[in-house]
Structure 1
Amino acid sequence: MVVKSSTVSAHAQDLTEVFQALWHHQMRLNLEKCVFGVSGGKFLGFMLSSRGIEANPDKCQAILDMKSPSTLKEVQKLAGRLTSLSRFLPCLAEIARPILLLLKKVKRFIWTPKCEASFQQFKERLGAPPILSKPVVDLDMIVYLAVSSTSISAVLIQEKQDEQHLVYGLPHVIITDNGRQFIDRKFERFLQELDVQHHVTSVEHPQANGQAEAANKVLLHELKKRLGSAKGLWAEELPNIL
């Protein structure tokens, strides 16, 4: 959770409002994991600053330093790194299509000129990735759609001082499993106050949840083996092992 304000006085008011909401819903914070009065920093693999949400420069540099993949394993690593930066790569699915096709079972690995062109295009964009700005209430929102025969991409834009800026916002819908923490009444009331819809997976087939949990345990076990020494850095290191 991040509380961001435009001024110091407003920040104190915003924190008071957040603490009151937490107290109202009987939620607690771990003080050892709380940081106050910072101008920016990493959060869930992203960089937060006064300008907005920025791409993690370490993740961008990891792709910029990559050589053209020569094996399927290297393509998998590239795909994972691109996915972690998907919010800063418009039309990701369409541009990456030649590369992603290599992930399908093929008899022989071939890195084609189309793959190389896509790879270089990503490098060019990550050299100066866009910044996701906070939306301004009084400004119109512009939705750009890019539609092809294989994918659909969308982006939210606001125009400020004759410049277009990517914006972020609160999700209208979140999707979770049937975990107790997600079906709790306090959590539901919290989402209702924010006008966020809550959709639960496997509503019609709850028996599938057990199968999903079993599969998740296997995945979690393997991830812990590979990321055991990267405590607190899962968001940064996860794309490297996918």
Structure 2
Amino acid sequence: MDNFSAAAHVDSDMEIMSLTNESQFLLFFRAQPCENPLEKRSAIQGKPFQGWAMIDSGASSIFISEKIVQDFQLFKKKLDKPRRLKVIDGREIDSGRVEHYCSINLKIFDHEEEVDAYVVNVGNHDIVLGMSWLKRHNPAIDWDKRSLVFSSRYCSEHCLNISPIVKSGEPDLEIAATSELPAKYSEFAKIFTEEEISPLPPHRPYDCEITLKPDAVPRHGPIYSLGPREDEELRKTVTKQLEAGLIRPSKSPMASPVIFVKKKNGTLRMCIDYRKLNDMTVKNVYPLPRSNDLIEKLRGAKIFSKFDLKWGYNLVRIKEGDEWKTAFKTRYGLFEYLVMPFGLTNAPATFQHFMNDVFRDILDIYVIIYLDDILVFSKNKEDHERHVREVLLRLQKHNLYCNLAKCFFGVEEIDYLGLIVSPEGIRVDPAKVVKAIDWSVPSKVVQVQEFVGFCNFYRTFIKDYSNIAAPLFKLTRKNHPWEWTEECAAAFEQLKEALRSAPVLIIPDISKQFFLECDASDFATGAILSQFSEDNQLHPVAFLSKAMTPAERNYDIYHKELLAIVKALKCQDPVVSLLCCP
């Protein structure tokens, strides 16, 4: 821990940041103020907080944002003598002199320590970890992979350092994934098999049926050209699937081509291009659950376990007699699937139907399921062990298997469907925030559509989303000429910042009172739905927004304000609907 009151600090200047981004990257952190026995705490003081720490070798020390200090009422200690603050080329910056510092417990991944940080305006960053921190810990940094390893003697003696490898942008909950099954669940070890390929499952009432339209004509396409790496993966995959009995040689009059997609770890996955088959298939309209409906069921949960089903769709058989429709052609021959492959139009509906029936009597009580992602939630540890056991028993009974490396057991925070869920509420996944921050400036309409689509998923976290994104919406209109204006650039950066600083949304309690605040601009209406939480503070449940039609933009200000109320109450959000239909 730094000794900021020492006289040695008085005369030296500090440097705050590099001139380029080459020496920087972001890490997600959690922190809590160190105890201050002399000051009576408010409801906010002493609470944990979280944000983004920028590791910057161009900064001389550790700095914390003035905004963080104010928002969380951190106790500031006065320096013996103020210090000057400069950028790396020696120029003093607007932040001027530094007069205070804060003591906090800083946690990055499972690396935890007590640090002192100078209170300054550090722009968009919450904390800056500079050279004094880097020299003390001397982490091994891989700038290409954006990761660092804590292995110094100082770390082993002074820091809690359970897992020394930290990657940029990854939340510390990743350590909860385990390569070992907890001893209390050892009787279910068979579920967490290490086999690379699934066994042939039995026929069930949920077999995937492929019903062709009356006018369907069997088609077959060409074999796509493959590179050496793809060709080798094709040979291995076909051989393994033949040996496991998942595919068999075919004489089908129709066939689809093979394609390869790259997985997150860089390896290749063989897929089949079933677009022609899907066009002639009668659609199964069994519904998939809405993510916000699932998350709403987690209200009051304190502890979570997550199970990732291994082999996914391959755990379901193709209905007997329909196998020929799944045929695919390769240089090694014509084959057809006996199990449900990825790419079939009815695969998601078939699989969700299967999972819902397996867990039907406990769905939304202590289990929610989206396809192959199973989340168990409970209010206490005793109930949770019982709930997990029941889920594992059902997986075992139905010959369903899990990928242990992607499972979590009894954690207080979990990522689910792109969100981080905890007893405090829900927030944006830090890994997704990093993706947004690193998003390149669009150069064509399709890239704008991709960015807007990404942000749209998190729109309930962004105040005045429709108003902010209006220039980008305009750019994606049909027949609108491409022009990346300053207005578009400002909206692009503002959405990035909104995601970076997105608040934690509480999961609402429908038995408590709601507060709805509405507003309108020239282009959009907006609203904030809030509720008092356990800390007796008003917290947001969701941010609502809607772009105005051309006619609505002509309303006078009074009618626009009224329109904001009407649109908020007509919102399709299930929680808001309770305000109108209690």
Report the TM-score when normalising by structure 1.
0.55
Does residue 112 (structure 1) correspond to residue 515 (structure 2)? The answer is: no
Using the TM superposition, give the Cα deviation of residue 173 of structure 1 relative to its aligned residue in structure 2, in angstroms. Answer: 9.7
**Residue 40, structure 1, aligned to residue 413, structure 2:** yes
Residue of structure 2 equivalent to 1:171? 574
Per-residue CA distance 1:176-235 (angstroms, 9 max, x = gap): xxxxxxxxxxxxxxxxxxxxx9xxxxxxxxxxxxxxxxxxxxxxxxxxxxxxxxxxxxxx
Q: What is the CA-CA distance between 1:96 and the residue it aligns to? A: 0.3
Per-residue deviation, residues 55-114 of structure 1 (Å, max 9, x unmatched): 122222111112332221221121111112112112211210111100013463111121
The answer to whether residue 469 in structure 2 is matched with residue 92 in structure 1 is no
Q: Give the length in aligned residue pairs.
A: 165
CA distance 1:136–1:74, change in 2 (3 Å): same
Of structures 1 and 2, the larger Rg is shown by 2
Q: Secondary structure at the match of 2:432?
A: helix
Identity %: 28
Structure 2: tracts of 5 or more residues without a match: 1-367, 369-374, 543-572
Q: Are the equivalent residues in 2 in contact too, given 1:47–1:55 (CA < 8 A)?
A: yes
Structure 1 distance, partners of 2:412, 2:480, is 51
Q: Distance in 2 between matches of 1:113 and 1:158?
A: 37
Distance, in Å, in 1 between the alignment partners of 2:530 and 2:480 is 43
Distance 1:114 1:138, change over 3 A: same
- Residue of 485, 490, 497 corresponding to 1:124: 497
Is structure 2 residue 385 aligned with structure 1 residue 8? no
Q: Distance in 1 between matches of 2:506 and 2:524?
A: 25
CA shift digits 1:14-48 (9 cap, x unpaired)? x49x98xxx9xxxx995648865233322122122
Which residue in 1 is equivalent to 2:8? none
Give, in whole Å, the separation in 2 of the partners of 1:171 and 1:137.
Answer: 11
Q: Distance in 2 between matches of 1:10 and 1:88?
A: 31
The structural deviation recorded for 1:162 is 6.4
Q: Taking structure 2 as the reference length, what is the TM-score of the superposition?
A: 0.25
State the AA in 1 paired with 2:430.
P
Greater length-normalized contact order (CA 8 Å, ≥ 6 residues apart): 1
Residues 44-63 of structure 1 aligned to structure 2 (within 5 Å): 44-63=417-436
Cα pair distance change 1:146/1:52, threshold 3 Å: same
Measured in 1, the distance between the counterparts of 2:537 and 2:494 equals: 23
More strand by share: 2
Q: Is the 8 A contact 1:39 1:50 kept in 2?
A: yes
2:506 aligns with 133
AA partner of residue 154 (structure 1)? A
**SS of corresponding position for 1:37:** strand
2:438 is aligned to: 65
Matched-pair contact (CA < 8 Å) for 1:158–1:164: yes
Provide the alpha-carbon RMSD of the alignment. 3.6
CA distance in 2, matches of 1:146, 1:3: 38
**Unmatched runs of 5 consecutive residues or more in structure 1:** 175-196, 198-242
